Amino acid sequence: MLRRFCPICASERLSSRLPARLPRPAILACQDCGLWVSASGPSEAELDSLYLSDYHKSWGDEDVCDDAVSRMKRRTFANFFDRLAHHRTDSGRLLDIGCAFGASLAEGARRGWDVYGIEISPSAACVAQRQFGSRVACGDFRSLEVQEDFYDAVLMADVLEHFAEPVVVMRKVCSILRPSGLVAINVPCVDSLSARILGAHWPQLKAEHVFYPSRKSLELLLARTGFRVLSLDTSVKRLSLAYVARILGWYPVRILSPIAQFITTLLPRCVSELPLPLLSGEVLLMGQKAPAGNFVN
Ligand SMILES: [Zn+2]
């Protein structure tokens, strides 16, 4: 069924002036907040079947938890935890929604956070549970039972765009945070340079990404769900060229994929596996739970 409303601002003005660079009719653009949204899918059943398979296999062919990938992921998460520390001097309870194999939890625990995670992919959750036991739940955050005002911080790295109802999800995130609790959201952004240049060939356009927010829509989302925006910046991830080539092999992009794979084959492994600070078309949004009742509808 064709989508009729923007999932964040609820505008019905979708696709009336669709930018020519977007694939039609797969993506619609909201004329009010600038967000892009998948026109008709994916359905919950399609998403479930995707996550039930080896969803994180794109991280590596054989051992998705190999040392190089783990080190690279932890360097990226170190940046996210630095940002949390900028707004909060002491650590506390932290929930990572979409914790995958637990690299974020390992980095958080090293910094003194009391870490918890939830992961929808059973194969990834199983790996994280080996290290963190019952602190990692396998399932969908929307059905996770957790008491209100429990966590001091919530991390959402590369997960918000997988939910069809971001307002519902963020209101739940707000409810489980203590007063003044923090949320760190890393998400693809349509205002990024790569989205503007690559358009229909933007590597972030994936079947499992339901929507792609603009900066304006992210600010609106937090205001509507009980948060105030602390910062909204271009996200810099630590990514190796070998990892980028692997992802572009898994999610093929015309011209870009063969170029990345060719360059990687020319480089010695010690260079191709080196984590470099790269822009990936994403933003890092930091929010703080606002005083009760401070919602914008
Ligand atoms: Zn909108």
Domain boundaries, the chain: 38-239+281-289, 241-274
Ion ligand 1: residues, CB < 5 A = 6, 9, 11, 30, 32-33, 35
How far, in Å, is the centroid of ligand 1 from the Cα of 86? 31
232 contacts 285 by C-beta, under 8 angstroms: yes
Give the relative orientation of helices 103-110 and 122-132 as an angle to the nearest 10 degrees.
20
Q: State pLDDT tens for residues 115-143.
A: 999 999 998 999 999 999 999 999 999 99
Q: What is the 13 CA–ligand 1 centroid distance (Å)?
A: 8
217: CA distance to ligand 1 center in Å? 6
60-108 per-position pLDDT tens digit: 544 455 677 788 888 889 999 999 999 987 889 999 999 999 999 999 9
Distance 161 CA to ligand 1 centre (A): 14
Rg (CA), the chain: 19
**Structurally, what CATH architecture does the domain formed by 38-239+281-289 represent?**
3-Layer(aba) Sandwich (3.40)
Residue-wise pLDDT tens digits, 221-274: 999 999 999 999 999 888 788 887 877 777 777 777 888 888 888 888 888 888
Look up residue 58 and give its DSSP letter: G
Give me ligand 1 centre to Cα 193, in Å. Answer: 20
Who contacts 99 (Cβ-Cβ below 8 Å, separation ≥6)? 105, 117, 118, 119, 125, 128, 136
DSSP H/E element including 88 = none
Question: Residue 203 above 90 pLDDT?
Answer: no
In 139-294, DSSP assigns E strands to 151-157, 177-188, 211-212, 227-239, 276-289
Instruction: Tell the residue number behind the tokens 């590596």, with chain if given.
Output: 60
> What is the C-alpha to C-alpha distance for residues 64 and 53, in angstroms, rounded to an integer?
14
